[in-house]
Structure 1
């Protein structure tokens, strides 16, 4: 329904959630005859981005030895996808607002106004309302962009989507590599579903691509996955030690908190309270570990507070 209109769409979501896939789907279903032209507003310096979007005339600036058509003109009759719109400078926000309002572009160094028929799909991983409140994003542009907002939840909140996407990516990669079809074993799909996917769809897609190339056999096993997803043998043993939940139930938060404190203490004791080394053992960022130690009051358990954490605690003979 939305695809078949010319309404501006604002796609919201974390990095890697598939915002460009949404833009491509909207364009494909729109019936527009022109191109889909993607532009990453956060990856191009401001002085270059203005020329990229709106074009420039010969001599408009140093190095402009010839005229150039901008992305809006290239997308005439089609769709322009403005990714990371929240990174756009205030100056360019003004020019973009004019395009949305008047359907014209003005190349850099020109006084000509060129009409364009372009559907705009923008995307951001920022909270643009907060950016407006902070004065970093124009309120009028915000409302022009979010005629139809589309929010993409992170992959960790999309349940069965993980297995569906993994199967899709695997089938696609096998065709691309021209190798026999492969499938995921049940245990492998369970491990993929349980993982949090901080990098979202992009991380899953890259992993499946690597698995399709490196795995042997027609069925992909948990052992084909990286340990941080499948769980190391040590981690599996720890988890399996709690084999059942008693009839009276468990205090989940208390149990997790105690277990976390226990693991941190074990790592600190093993490294003689060297926090940097303990963080490596636990696969944690050092800052995160220090915050957890302070929050749990674990400094009191040893002499770490008296020592530089880059050095081991002194040994007394």
Structure 2
């Protein structure tokens, strides 16, 4: 016998509470609470997937208590489906509750068959979401390396590169446009190396003024220049036995190129204003969005330093060349920012994913991160539609999907719509689309759509 799912009912009227218990105890394991404190205690212990919440818990609460309880439930477990029970049709508070993350609302008087259907639908949605989350997490783990996410051939080559160079102490040069994830690759190399328990020190060569960069790198002695009131260790010393990552190495001025070259050759340096030589055992990883060969030809970058740095190198592909990786990353970021901001789970609509797929992403992953973070915070519903993305609607930054890709997007949408219309029942959905049940299952598998096997 299958275990009954847990349903929490929060209602301060005893007669209504008895009526609801009678209506649902045959189908679910019912937990009852007539005040917020008891409701929270039961919620934390029993972890129900669905909650029936009377929005007006007391006559003098002005419904604020119910809304506060809704927010508390969703802050503890954003996946929970909360159905608001109200005594007024078109209740503004109930509408506000929906905006806060409630799944639905029901208007009294209680009609058990109607309310049972609503609760059953809420459990069905919760189960589908949980399966979807589990499936997404599984796929994510299959297609990630540390914080790098992707499944395209180009990014798989990057994963293999990390595996190869992490075992060594050789200097690594990472090339790629701004925002492609160069620091993530450097960090992944460090974390897979024998230095993983030692410092990973980052220095952005373009963000530090030229007159301070030398001190940042090598440190300085007390009194070595105006404002040097005490001795200071530089990034090299801080990275002892670890890894130092130079971001935008192409921005380093000529005088420091000489000193960096000397360090690479001799593994020693002097602090600014000092004469003592310090030896440091640190791995060097550098990155740039510039063409260092051109910079070398123009006299902006030393040839001997270039060859010292370019022992092994990898070029990261821009996001626009990574196919459907952009969708994998976008979905991951939606989940990440919902969790970070304690927002109930949201998802991208198919139309939003199409817009994301078509966009050219000149700012690469960094631009995608900013866009998704804004959309998660600003979108009023639990589904993010294209208007929340804030794309420039001009066509000059967009690419056209192939005919095959466009057909697959449309086919997937038809399947999801059919499932929704038929409340998840496979036979009905298949009949609706004019295909056999077996064909329908094949299409679901093709598009990685998780369904309730019992239907």
Q: TM-score, normalised by structure 1?
A: 0.70
In the alignment, what sits opposite 1:55? 219
Q: Of residues 284, 294, 299 in structure 2, which corresponds to 1:135? A: 299
Using the TM superposition, give the Cα deviation of residue 16 of structure 1 relative to its aligned residue in structure 2, in angstroms.
1.1
The alignment status of 1:70 with 2:229, answered yes or no, reads: no
Using the TM superposition, give the Cα deviation of residue 62 of structure 1 relative to its aligned residue in structure 2, in angstroms.
1.8
In the alignment, what sits opposite 1:279? none
Q: Of residues 156, 160, 171 in structure 1, which corresponds to 2:335? A: 171
1:301-316 matches, within 5 Å, as none
In the alignment, what sits opposite 1:12? 175
Check conservation: 2:372, 2:389, Cα contact below 8 A.
Answer: no
Per-residue deviation, residues 264-289 of structure 1 (Å, max 9, x unmatched)? xxxxxxxxxxxxxxxxxxxxxxxxxx
In the alignment, what sits opposite 2:186? 23
Matched position secondary structure for 1:7: coil
Matched position secondary structure for 1:59: coil
Using the TM superposition, give the Cα deviation of residue 218 of structure 1 relative to its aligned residue in structure 2, in angstroms.
2.2
CA distance in structure 2 between the aligned counterparts of 1:173 and 1:4, rounded to whole angstroms: 33
CA distance in structure 2 between the aligned counterparts of 1:67 and 1:5, rounded to whole angstroms: 33
Matched position secondary structure for 2:192: helix
Using the TM superposition, give the Cα deviation of residue 222 of structure 1 relative to its aligned residue in structure 2, in angstroms.
1.8
Per-residue deviation, residues 144-197 of structure 1 (Å, max 9, x unmatched)? 111111101211111111101101111111110112221112221111010001
Q: Of residues 264, 267, 284 in structure 2, which corresponds to 1:120? A: 284
CA distance in structure 2 between the aligned counterparts of 1:88 and 1:151, rounded to whole angstroms: 20
Using the TM superposition, give the Cα deviation of residue 48 of structure 1 relative to its aligned residue in structure 2, in angstroms.
0.6
Matched position secondary structure for 1:53: helix
Matched position secondary structure for 1:22: helix
Per-residue deviation, residues 205-254 of structure 1 (Å, max 9, x unmatched)? 000001111112222222322141xx48xx8xxxxxxxx9xxxxxxxxxx
Using the TM superposition, give the Cα deviation of residue 104 of structure 1 relative to its aligned residue in structure 2, in angstroms.
1.2
Using the TM superposition, give the Cα deviation of residue 138 of structure 1 relative to its aligned residue in structure 2, in angstroms.
0.7
The alignment status of 1:154 with 2:354, answered yes or no, reads: no
In the alignment, what sits opposite 1:222? 386
Using the TM superposition, give the Cα deviation of residue 4 of structure 1 relative to its aligned residue in structure 2, in angstroms.
2.2
Q: Of residues 18, 38, 45 in structure 1, which corresponds to 2:202? A: 38
Q: CA RMSD in A?
A: 1.5
- Where in structure 2 are there 5+ consecutive unaligned residues? 1-163, 396-402, 404-455
CA distance in structure 1 between the aligned counterparts of 2:347 and 2:223, rounded to whole angstroms: 58
Greater relative contact order, per chain length (Cα 8 Å cut-off, separation 6+): 1
Per-residue deviation, residues 260-312 of structure 1 (Å, max 9, x unmatched)? xxxxxxxxxxxxxxxxxxxxxxxxxxxxxxxxxxxxxxxxxxxxxxxxxxxxx
1:234-273 matches, within 5 Å, as none
Matched position secondary structure for 2:313: strand
Matched position secondary structure for 1:2: helix
Matched position secondary structure for 1:64: coil
Matched position secondary structure for 1:122: strand
Q: TM-score, normalised by structure 2?
A: 0.50
